[in-house]
C-alpha cells in the first residue's frame, strides 16, 4: 500500500507538471520551428528572424508556464502572480528558467490564495477593487524580489548540479543507461514526471545553445513501444493480440505511449525488452549526434521528424529503427517462450467475467439517466482524448445523444454522470470525484467499454 501511495503521489506530481506544460506545448513547438529554420545552422538561416529565438526561450516560455501554474492553484489572480514571480527568477539567473517557473507559478497562486482568504471578510464595501488590485501588486512585488534574490539563484545551483551529473553520464558514455530508470517508471504512468520535470528543462537549455538536444529523445522514443506492440500483434494471444494492431498505429503515428503500458503490466518480463530497446535507441542517437529542437508532444514519429534539425535525420530514423528491432526481438522471444497456453475462449471468458464483476458496483445507478461521460487520464490530452473520441463515435452510430469528453484528473467536471479512467489512476480520481468509475486497462477495445456501451444502448432504447 505504501508503494502504491508513493506511486500515486509521484503520478499526481507528474500530472501537475503536465498541466503546466501541456497547454503551452504549441508555444514550445513554435519556438522549435523558429529555431530549426532561422538559426545559423538552420534550414533557412536568417539573422533578422533568429533574434526572436533568445527572448522567446528566456522570457516568453517560462512566463507562460509560470502563469499557467499560478492559474492551476489560484485562478486568474494566481496566473498574474505566477507570471510576476517567474520574471523574478528569470532575471535572477543566467539560464532559461523552466524549473524556476514551475516553482514560482504554483507558489504565486498559493500566496494570492491565502492573501485573498485573509482579506476576504475585512474589505470595506466599495473598496473591493482597490484592495484586490493593491494586494495583488504588493504580494507580486514581494514574490518577484524573493524569486530574484533567493529562489532564482537556488534553482540555478540545483539545475547546474543535475545538468553536470547528466552531462558527466553523457561524457562517460553512460547516457544509454538512462532507460533502465525511464522505462519502468513510464509503465507505472510516471512518464509525465520524468519528461516535464527533468528532461524537458534540460533539453531546452541544451537546445538554446546547440540548436538541438538529445534529452528530448531519451524518454520519448516511439521505437521500443512499436516493437513491443508489433510482437504482440504477431505472437500474442487472445485480447492482447486482437487489440495490439490498433494500439500500434495510434502509439507510433499518434504518439500516445500510454497504449503500450498495459501490455507491459500484463507481461512484466517484457520490461526487459523495453529497457533494451530504449538503451539501444539512445545509444544510436548518441552515436550519430542526434537531437530534436523541442520536446515531441505527443511522441509520435511525425513529431520526431518535424522537430529533427537539418543534418540529424539519419540519427533520428536510425535510433527509432534500432529501438524497434531490439524491442521486437526480445518481446517476441519472451512471448514464444511462455509455457502458459491461453486460448481465445479462455481469454474472452476471463475478460468478460472481470468486466461483469467490476460493473456490478459501477452500474449501481440508472444508466438511462446518463447524459455526460468523462474520460480521464493524467494530462487529459492523450489516451483519454483518443478513448473519448472512439467511444463518442460508437454512441453516435447507435443514435445515443450522450456527451463524451476528455479531461485531466484535476479537471473532472462535477456534472459528469460516469467517469472512465485507467485502473492505475483509481486512487487519484477518487480523491477528486465521487462519480461512478469505470476502471479500464486500455482506452480502446477494453471489454469494460464494450459492456458499458451495450448497457447504455439497452437502457436508452427502453
State pLDDT tens for residues 147-199: 999 998 888 887 777 767 776 777 777 888 888 888 887 776 666 666 766 78
Is the per-residue pLDDT at 3 higher than 80? Answer: no
Is the per-residue pLDDT at 107 higher than 90? Answer: yes
Overall average pLDDT of the 321-332 stretch: 96
Is the per-residue pLDDT at 89 higher than 80? Answer: yes
Structural domain contains residue 224: no
Structural domain contains residue 43: no
Q: What pLDDT sits at residue 134? A: 92
Structural domain contains residue 339: no
Q: What pLDDT sits at residue 140? A: 95
Of 377, 404, 425, 439, catalytic: 377
Is the per-residue pLDDT at 392 higher than 80? Answer: yes
Q: What is the pLDDT of residues 255-302, one digit of tens each?
A: 777 778 778 877 888 999 999 999 999 999 999 999 998 888 777 898
Q: What pLDDT sits at residue 359? A: 46
Residue reference for cell 538559426: 39
| pLDDT band, residue 315 (cuts 50/70/90) | very high
Overall average pLDDT of the 375-395 stretch: 81
Q: What pLDDT sits at residue 426? A: 83
Helix (H/G/I), strand (E/B), else coil: 308: coil
Quick one: which of 389, 440, 386, 437 has its CA closest to 416? 437
| pLDDT band, residue 345 (cuts 50/70/90) | very low
Q: What pLDDT sits at residue 360? A: 43
Domain count of the fold of the chain: 1
Give the chain's mean pLDDT: 82
Is the per-residue pLDDT at 339 higher than 60? Answer: no
Greater pLDDT, 202 or 18 = 202
Of 129-143, 150-164, 212-226, 389-403, which gets the smallest average pLDDT? 150-164
Greater pLDDT, 88 or 237 = 88
Q: What pLDDT sits at residue 348? A: 43
Structural domain contains residue 370: yes
Give the integer Cα–Cα distance in Å for 140 and 77: 10
| pLDDT band, residue 227 (cuts 50/70/90) | very high
Whether the Cβ atoms of residue 42 and residue 54 lie closer than 8 Å to each other: no
Q: What domain range is 441 assigned to?
A: 345-461
Q: What pLDDT sits at residue 74? A: 87
Greater pLDDT, 32 or 7 = 32
Q: What pLDDT sits at residue 169? A: 73
Percentage of the chain beyond pLDDT 70 is: 85
Structural domain contains residue 219: no
Give the integer Cα–Cα distance in Å for 223 and 27: 26
Quick one: which of 323, 202, 315 has its CA closest to 260? 323
Structural domain contains residue 302: no
Is the per-residue pLDDT at 341 higher than 50? Answer: no
Overall average pLDDT of the 401-416 stretch: 85
Structural domain contains residue 125: no
| Range from 21-25, 115-119, 214-218, 272-276 that averages highest in pLDDT | 272-276
- List the beta bridge partners of residue 407: 376
Is the per-residue pLDDT at 435 higher than 80? Answer: yes
CATH classification of the domain holding 401: 3.40.50.2300
Give the integer Cα–Cα distance in Å for 394 and 52: 46
Overall average pLDDT of the 23-52 stretch: 81
Structural domain contains residue 268: no
List C-alpha distances in Å: 239 to 46, 122, 180.
53, 62, 28
Give the integer Cα–Cα distance in Å for 327 and 282: 13
Of 102-111, 196-205, 396-405, 414-423, which gets the smallest average pLDDT? 196-205
Q: Which three cell numbers stand for residue 460?
A: 436508452
Q: What pLDDT sits at residue 28? A: 78
Is the per-residue pLDDT at 105 higher than 70? Answer: yes
144 is catalytic: no
Amino acid at each position: 500500500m505504501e508503494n502504491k501511495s508513493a506511486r500515486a503521489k509521484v503520478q499526481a506530481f507528474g500530472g501537475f507538471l503536465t498541466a503546466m506544460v501541456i497547454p503551452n506545448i504549441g508555444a514550445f513547438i513554435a519556438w522549435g520551428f523558429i529555431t530549426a529554420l532561422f538559426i545559423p545552422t538552420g534550414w533557412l538561416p536568417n539573422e533578422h528572424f533568429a533574434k526572436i529565438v533568445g527572448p522567446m526561450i528566456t522570457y516568453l516560455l517560462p512566463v507562460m508556464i509560470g502563469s499557467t501554474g499560478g492559474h492551476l492553484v489560484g485562478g486568474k489572480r494566481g496566473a498574474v502572480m505566477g507570471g510576476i514571480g517567474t520574471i523574478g527568477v528569470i532575471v535572477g539567473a543566467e539560464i532559461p528558467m523552466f524549473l524556476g517557473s514551475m516553482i514560482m507559478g504554483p507558489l504565486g497562486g498559493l500566496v494570492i490564495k491565502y492573501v485573498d482568504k485573509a482579506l476576504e471578510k475585512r474589505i470595506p464595501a466599495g473598496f473591493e477593487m482597490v484592495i484586490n488590485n493593491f494586494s495583488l501588486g504588493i504580494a507580486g512585488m514581494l514574490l518577484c524580489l524573493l524569486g530574484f534574490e533567493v529562489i532564482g539563484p537556488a534553482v540555478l545551483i540545483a539545475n547546474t548540479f543535475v545538468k553536470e551529473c547528466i552531462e558527466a553520464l553523457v561524457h562517460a558514455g553512460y547516457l544509454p543507461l538512462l532507460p533502465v530508470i525511464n522505462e519502468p517508471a513510464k509503465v507505472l504512468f510516471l512518464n509525465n514526471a520524468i519528461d516535464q520535470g527533468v528532461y524537458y528543462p534540460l533539453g531546452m537549455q541544451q537546445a538554446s545553445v546547440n540548436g538541438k538536444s538529445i534529452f528530448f529523445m531519451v524518454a520519448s522514443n516511439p521505437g521500443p513501444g512499436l516493437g513491443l506492440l508489433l510482437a504482440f500483434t504477431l505472437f500474442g494471444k487472445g485480447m492482447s493480440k486482437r487489440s495490439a494492431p490498433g494500439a500500434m498505429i495510434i502509439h507510433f503515428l499518434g504518439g500516445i505511449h500510454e497504449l503500450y503500458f498495459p501490455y507491459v503490466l500484463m507481461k512484466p518480463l517484457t520490461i526487459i525488452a523495453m529497457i533494451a530497446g530504449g538503451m539501444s535507441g539512445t545509444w544510436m542517437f548518441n552515436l550519430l549526434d542526434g537531437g530534436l529542437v523541442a520536446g515531441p508532444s505527443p511522441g509520435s514519429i511525425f513529431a520526431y521528424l518535424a522537430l529533427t534539425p537539418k543534418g540529424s535525420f539519419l540519427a533520428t530514423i536510425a535510433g527509432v529503427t534500432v529501438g524497434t528491432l531490439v524491442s521486437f526481438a526480445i518481446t517476441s522471444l519472451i512471448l514464444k517462450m511462455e509455457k502458459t497456453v491461453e486460448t481465445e475462449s479462455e481469454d474472452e471468458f476471463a475478460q468478460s467475467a472481470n468486466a461483469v464483476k467490476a460493473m456490478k458496483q459501477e452500474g449501481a445507478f440508472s444508466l438511462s439517466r446518463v447524459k455526460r461521460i468523462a474520460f480521464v487520464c493524467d494530462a487529459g490530452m492523450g489516451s483519454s482524448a483518443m478513448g473519448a473520441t472512439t467511444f463518442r463515435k460508437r454512441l453516435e452510430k447507435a443514435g445515443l445523444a450522450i456527451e463524451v469528453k476528455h479531461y485531466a484528473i484535476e479537471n473532472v467536471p462535477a456534472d459528469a454522470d460516469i467517469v472512465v479512467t485507467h485502473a492505475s489512476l483509481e486512487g487519484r480520481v477518487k480523491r477528486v470525484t465521487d462519480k461512478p468509475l469505470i476502471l479500464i486497462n486500455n482506452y480502446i477495445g477494453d471489454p469494460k467499454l464494450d459492456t458499458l456501451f451495450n448497457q447504455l444502448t439497452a437502457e436508452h432504447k427502453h
